[in-house]
Amino acid sequence: MSLDPFGGLLDPFAFWDIGATYDRYAAFFDLVIYCAIFIALCTTVLTSRFSGRPGRVLAAVFGIALGVSLVVVERKFGFSLRQASPVAALIAVLLLGFLLAQTLVRIHVPWTLAMPLSYVVIYLFLRAVSPAMMETIAARAPFVHLLTVIMFLICLWRAGAALWPAGGFKLWPHSSDAGFVAMLDRGREKNENGLLKNLRRGEIPEAERDSVKAEHTLLSVLRELNRSAPDWTGIGQASVSITQRADESIIIVDRVRTLDRRLENFDLHELAQLNAYYQQLTDQDRNRLKNQVDLERRKIIQEHAIDQLGGNCERRHGEFRQRMEVLARAAAERDRAAALQAVSEARAIEEMQRAEIRRLLQAEGLLQTLTGRKLRDEKHV
């Protein structure tokens, strides 16, 4: 029989019978499981159709409604997850853990925290829902309790690292004039780093998804045009839908470009500030600050490149809209040749647009790398 390290680690909870707690509050535990599963599933299904915050809100509302409905039915028939077969309970809890991990990653929780936290949740729910299954697993895999302790400690460490102020108990955050200058705008740079992460993980990939959906609709239009009797009304409606998708994509690119311009203005101000202080420092402090100045210049060059990529996307979007207007007129006039030409040109433009968005994503990644290097370098100036 394997030793349960939680017996010593959680002595304050030694008299807490998890199984009995579940028996008493089974509806609550089941509600949490059902809502988590349904919210994650609805998020996966609905956010592809309703992007942004409206999609997430809609997924949460539907997920909670389905979870509550299932619990009401469950209580009406006197059923709970504990009464399900151990294998069914195991599958349900594993599905919960998988969806929880995916949801945490989607809301930008670092995977180094999302994965251990999901594992601990699976362990606790399985221990509550099916103690017999947990005993069977522990008998076949004696390391399961120890692994849970390790995952639990990783969660504590990651949470502490996120909450604990950077630099620990340093009484003086800089040991030289160069260190003082390097730390002047550290708070703003941290915010910039977080903003760049959100752009890379959320905004720009969403623009690429909108571009892919527009391409899929264009392919559908092309197949319809190759039929002997095309649905011209449907083609006209599809041209409107494609234009909306492209508009949503370019709105995101424009937002990214606007934010990047603001960052560039801040960095230009910071570079001017660094150069002004740089002239007043000793040779030793200048050498220590030199890398900071170089990184700031490279950031500005990268931000300028991002601005140019965004401008290319906006100009190409104007060309794409012109092709969609041609397609709409051709559908109204039932001109197959003009419609085919418009679709062909639009597909070529959209392919270039998608490639440009990928380059934009790569450029943002390089900018985030430079920002992270500058933040790390500041600690050693």
- pLDDT bucket at 363, cuts 50 / 70 / 90: confident
Mean pLDDT, residues 217-245: 88
pLDDT score, position 266:
76
Which amino acid belongs to residue 304? Answer: H
CB 113 within 8 Å of CB 155:
yes
Distance CA 241, CA 223 (A): 16
Q: Judging by beta carbons within 10 Å of its beta carbon (0-12, 13-18, 19+), is residue 8 exposed, middle or buried?
A: exposed
Domain check: are 199 and 96 in the same one? no
Which amino acid belongs to residue 32? Answer: V
- Give the DSSP letter of residue 165: P
pLDDT score, position 173:
46
The mean pLDDT of the chain is 76
* Highest-scoring range by mean pLDDT, 11-25, 41-55, 183-197, 302-316: 302-316
pLDDT score, position 381:
59
198 is a domain residue: yes
Domain check: are 61 and 136 in the same one? yes
Among residues 355, 45, 347, the alpha carbon closest in space to that of 220 is found at 347
Residue where a domain terminates, one of 100, 135, 163? 163
Domain check: are 75 and 196 in the same one? no
Domain check: are 244 and 299 in the same one? yes
347 is a domain residue: yes
CB 289 within 8 Å of CB 271:
no
Mean pLDDT, residues 49-66: 76
- Structure tokens belonging to residue 219: 């392919």
CB 297 within 8 Å of CB 289:
no
Distance CA 121, CA 97 (A): 7
Q: Judging by beta carbons within 10 Å of its beta carbon (0-12, 13-18, 19+), is residue 160 exposed, middle or buried?
A: exposed
**pLDDT of 172 higher than 50:** no
For 137, the domain range is 6-163
pLDDT digits (tens, 9 = 90+) for 241-273: 888 888 888 888 888 888 778 777 777 777 777
Handedness of CA 196, 201, 205, 206 (dihedral sign): negative
Domain check: are 200 and 95 in the same one? no
| Three-class SS state of 379 | coil
Distance CA 106, CA 239 (A): 31
Which amino acid belongs to residue 302? Answer: Q
Domain check: are 14 and 74 in the same one? yes
pLDDT score, position 1:
45
Residue where a domain terminates, one of 136, 163, 190? 163
Among residues 203, 288, 214, 296, the alpha carbon closest in space to that of 247 is found at 214
pLDDT score, position 163:
62
Domain check: are 24 and 87 in the same one? yes
168 is a domain residue: no
1 is a domain residue: no
- Give the DSSP letter of residue 199: I
pLDDT score, position 345:
92
Mean pLDDT, residues 18-30: 71
pLDDT digits (tens, 9 = 90+) for 325-350: 999 999 899 998 999 999 999 999 98
Distance CA 55, CA 42 (A): 9
Domain check: are 158 and 184 in the same one? no
Residue where a domain terminates, one of 135, 163, 191? 163
Domain check: are 105 and 188 in the same one? no
- Structure tokens belonging to residue 306: 């991002």
Domain tally, the chain: 2
pLDDT score, position 341:
92
Distance CA 358, CA 169 (A): 42
**pLDDT of 170 higher than 50:** no
Neighbours of 106 (CB within 10 A): 16
294 is a domain residue: yes
171 is a domain residue: no
278 is a domain residue: yes
Domain check: are 151 and 222 in the same one? no
pLDDT score, position 378:
67
Q: Say which range, 305-309, 366-370, 373-377, has the weakest mean pLDDT.
A: 373-377
Q: How far is CA 266 from CA 192, 216, 242, 308, in A?
A: 10, 40, 37, 18
Distance CA 268, CA 265 (A): 5
- Structure tokens belonging to residue 225: 């045009």
Rounded to 5°, angle at Cα 315 from 310 and 320? 120
- The 10 Å CB-count burial string (b at 16+, else e) for 166-187 is eeeeeeeebeebbbebbbebbe
Domain check: are 364 and 216 in the same one? yes
Domain check: are 20 and 142 in the same one? yes
By percentage, how much of the chain surpasses pLDDT 90?
2
170 is a domain residue: no
